[in-house]
Amino acid sequence: MNSTAIFQISEETIPLEAKSDEALITMFQGGDRSTYRVLVDRHRERVRNVVFSIFRDVDMVDDMAQEVFIKAYEALPNFRFESSFYTWLYRITVNKARDEMRKRKVKRFFSLDLMTEQKEHHPALQTPAPTDMGVADMVAQALDRLPEKFRLPVILKDIEGLSYDEIAEALECEVGTVKSRLSRARAMLRTILTPMMEAE
């Protein structure tokens, strides 16, 4: 038995869980769809964390994560290995999040007049001022107040720990744009958080 044959046998005996993302994708594209389960298990929590960081809504995390992995499953046969799998997956997650944010803006637009009218007639519906908020809650509330183009880079960099290059790829923009938006977003966060923390 030659060394090539030995190498092939040893490769075949490596458990799926121990294989790289690239190896699993190659097997998937070759017809072995069972490898996708390993990719999902490996990256599920990171996708869920991104979704939660963006929306702060526990009830929607699993549904949106499932939508992301369905979309990724459908697109994976055309994956070209031009980026890492998880960067590619983040791009799908961000695009899904943007779609959801657009839907929410439309719903909020059409319900704004009704909400205003209800609050005028029912003072109990007025949103109370925050009290006894922890730092994490303050940061989450401040993030919610940032426009999408500033909020997403902060989440991907400061919460998820992606590199500038990975964020640029996920958001489909230049690295310089990422750095500029991060700088602006952090300044905006300081402006929002300072009075909140002083009030506490």
Cα–Cα distance between 14 and 38 in angstroms, integer?
13
128-200, CATH topology level: Arc Repressor Mutant, subunit A (1.10.10)
Cα dist. 31→5, 108, 116, 176 in Å? Answer: 22, 44, 55, 40
Instruction: Please indicate whether residue 144 or residue 183 has the higher confidence score (pLDDT).
Output: 183
Tell me how far apart the alpha carbons of residues 48 and 63 are, in angstroms, rounded to a whole number: 10
CATH 1.10.1740.10-classified regions of the chain: 20-100
How does pLDDT run across 52-76, given as a tens digit for each residue? Answer: 888 888 889 999 999 999 999 999 9
Helix (H, G, I), strand (E, B) or coil at 38: helix
Confidence of residue 196 (pLDDT cuts 50, 70, 90): confident
DSSP code at position 43: H
| Mean confidence (pLDDT) of the chain | 80
pLDDT classification of 12: cutoffs 50, 70, 90: low
Residue with the bigger pLDDT between 141 and 150: it is 150
Instruction: Tell me which CATH code domain 20-100 carries.
Output: 1.10.1740.10
> Rounded mean pLDDT of 12-36?
91
Looking at residue 137, its pLDDT comes to 76
Residue ranges matching CATH 1.10.10.10 in the chain: 128-200
**Residue 72 and residue 37 in contact, taking contact as beta carbons nearer than 8 Å:** no
Look at residue 53 in the predicted model and tell me its pLDDT. 86
User: In the prediction, which pLDDT does 100 show?
Assistant: 86
Evaluated on CA atoms 199, 184, 156, 149, the torsion sign reads positive
pTM value is 0.69
In a 3-state reduction of DSSP, which class is residue 122? coil
pLDDT category of residue 175 using cuts at 50, 70 and 90: very high
pLDDT of residue 128: 38
The more confidently predicted of residues 4 and 30 is 30
Q: Give yes or no for residue 110 having a pLDDT over 60.
A: no
Contact status, residue 45 vs residue 69, Cβ threshold 8 Å:
no
Helices 85-121 and 21-29, interaxial angle, to 10°? 90
Average pLDDT of the residues in 140-169: 88
Mutual angle of helices 164-171 and 175-199, in 10-degree steps: 100
